[in-house]
Amino acid sequence: MKVLVLGGTGEARALASALHGRPGFAVVSSLAGRVRDPRLPVGEVRVGGFGGPDKLAEWLAGAGIDAVVDATHPFAARISASAAEAAGKAGVPLLMLRRPGWPARPGWHWVSDLAEAAAVADGLGERIFLTTGRQGLSAFADSARWFLIRCVDPPEEPLPAKRLVLLDRGPYTVDTELALLRGHGVDVLVTKDSGGPLTVAKVDAAQEMGVPVVVVRRPPAPDVPVVGAVDEVLDWLAP
């Protein structure tokens, strides 16, 4: 069975490791190519987009793919929608591997998108820790607040005028996140409901300090089967 794993997450890398060398399976991991120095999974890797659902459907047929696992980031809505459409057109079964979101906590302010996050955060404090990734930061560009912006790759303009950009990637610890928040006088945290353990330390630290957290809700997922763990994917793939 030849499996395409749409990846870029820790879960995708774990799945590729579980399938690599497994009797009866061949795995191809696909990365969007948006990160300059991504953490690569084991096995065959394809980097770059497919050109939309029609092109992806053609690729699936040409590559002899028997199953697709969408293990992309919970906020990669465009890729997930394209995969669902392409798999349907190609007649290839699709499963979504999606880590559960973080349970809500006291002091959280839920918003639907980055524009709403910018408006809410602006009314909560003066020094904002922005951890939503490097895309969509233009939503905060007109704010007069000070921002600590953390992302893996350098973000593109427009950005807030008063800012410090920190290039880094998880996993993080509560102690280091506490030191970061205190060292920069952060009084608001803005994040996405990414879920998982790699970046949860920031919300733990914010809760310990009593810092309000603005949380962007996940976009709607396609109407496809969803599991939350690698073992469940292996069960689904089992003959």
**pLDDT at residue 107 above 90?**
no
- Binned at pLDDT 50, 70 and 90, residue 234 comes out as very high
Residues 107, 213 contacting (CB under 8 angstroms): yes
Q: At what angle do helices 77-90 and 53-63 cross, to 10 degrees?
A: 50
Q: Which CATH class is domain 108-216?
A: alpha beta
The residue-averaged pLDDT of 156-164 equals 96
Distances (CA, A) of 187 to 110, 138, 177, 210: 17, 21, 13, 9
SS3 97: strand
pLDDT in tens, 18-35: 999 899 999 999 998 776
Between CA 83 and CA 79 the distance in angstroms is 6
Three-point CA angle 124, 153, 145, nearest 5°: 20
Q: Is the pLDDT of residue 89 over 90?
A: yes
Is residue 36 predicted with pLDDT exceeding 80?
no
Query: What would the mean pLDDT of 137-157 be, rounded to a whole number?
Result: 96
pLDDT at 195: 94
- Domain borders along the chain are 2-99+219-237, 108-216
Q: Considering only CA atoms, which of 59, 69, 47 is closest in space to residue 90? A: 59
Domain with residues 2-99+219-237, CATH architecture: 3-Layer(aba) Sandwich (3.40)
User: 3-class SS at 69?
Assistant: strand
Report the Cα–Cα distance between both ends of the chain, in Å, rounded.
9
Stretch 76-90: mean pLDDT = 96
Do 108-216 and 2-99+219-237 have the same topology in CATH?
Answer: yes
> Parallel, antiparallel, or unpaired: how do β-strands 163-167 and 146-151 relate?
parallel
pLDDT of 146 strictly over 90? yes
Mean pLDDT of the chain: 95
Residue 179 pLDDT level (bands cut at 50, 70, 90): very high
Separation between Cα atoms, residue 133 and residue 153, nearest integer Å: 9
**pLDDT over 70, % of the chain:** 99
Q: What is the pLDDT of residue 239?
A: 76
* Rounded mean pLDDT, 161-189: 96
**Region 143-149 average pLDDT:** 98
Nearby residues of 1 by Cβ (< 8 Å), 6 or more positions away: 24, 25, 26, 66, 67, 237, 239
pLDDT in tens, 121-145: 999 999 999 999 999 999 999 999 9
Under the banding of pLDDT at 50, 70 and 90, the label for residue 201 is: very high
Q: What is the pLDDT of residue 32?
A: 86
pLDDT, residue 230, reads: 96
How far apart are the C-alpha atoms of 225 and 55, rounded to whole Å? 23
**33 in the Ramachandran plot: left (φ > 0), alpha (ψ -120 to 50) or beta?**
left
Predicted TM-score (pTM) of the model is 0.90
